[in-house]
Amino acid sequence: MGSVVGPDPFPRMVRDFQSVIGEEAREQFLERTGGLPDAAVACVGGGSNAIGLFHAFRDDPVEFYGAEGGGEGSDSSKHAAPLASGTDDVIHGMKTRVIDDEVDVHSVSAGLDYPGVGPEHAMFRAVGRCEYTGITDEAALAAFRELSETEGIIPALESSHAVARAIQLAEEGDHETILVNLSGRGDKDMETAAAKFDL
């Protein structure tokens, strides 16, 4: 398992391996803007790319936003959003947030359909350091299409959840600068996207 899940020391080990994401993003953001972002956004399944990004900014006044696989809605019976709509429990050797047994774990993105989440994310949620939101399949697909059409960048469906959350935040207008972790390419998702868009 390549995510920040399981018993100690595995979540810490993977976080430290993934921390290059945040270190490089921090350096690039400072170089391009002269300051830190107001907000950092990443998709969250097990949570490795997100914790890799957040770790570099954890002591800075940067707001964190995690975009989970909201499936048909975090209040529905088909989602993958344990932080937004799960319960505290134990799974795979860790105490964290998990999806209730009556929920069918689902996301349009295969990389987000995990029934739990890394314990550090559960801690971030508990202390209010990060706000986690379930992004529906529909919103993620719309973000996938928008980024592809406007920038020529095809994001992974996982990353499309973060793009969708960033679009929501931009529309709310509370942040001048938003850093989005585009954690993967969408080449692997073209068949799924084509089917969803009826192409």
pTM: 0.96
Q: What is the mean pLDDT of residues 37-45?
A: 98
* Separation CA 120–CA 51 (nearest Å): 8
Q: What is the mean pLDDT of residues 176-180?
A: 98
- Structural domains present in the chain: 9-197 (3.40.50.1100)
In a 10 Å sphere around its CB, with 0-12 CB exposed, 13-18 middle and 19+ buried, how is residue 38 labelled? Answer: middle
pLDDT at 86 over 80: yes
| Chain Cα centroid distance, residue 62 | 16
Q: Give the model's pLDDT for residue 11.
A: 97
Q: Give Dmax (Cα) for the chain.
A: 48
Task: Return the number of other C-beta atoms located less than 10 Å from residue 149's C-beta.
Answer: 10
- The three-class DSSP label of residue 18 is helix
pLDDT band at 40 (very low <50, low <70, confident <90, very high): very high
Q: What is the mean pLDDT of residues 70-77?
A: 96
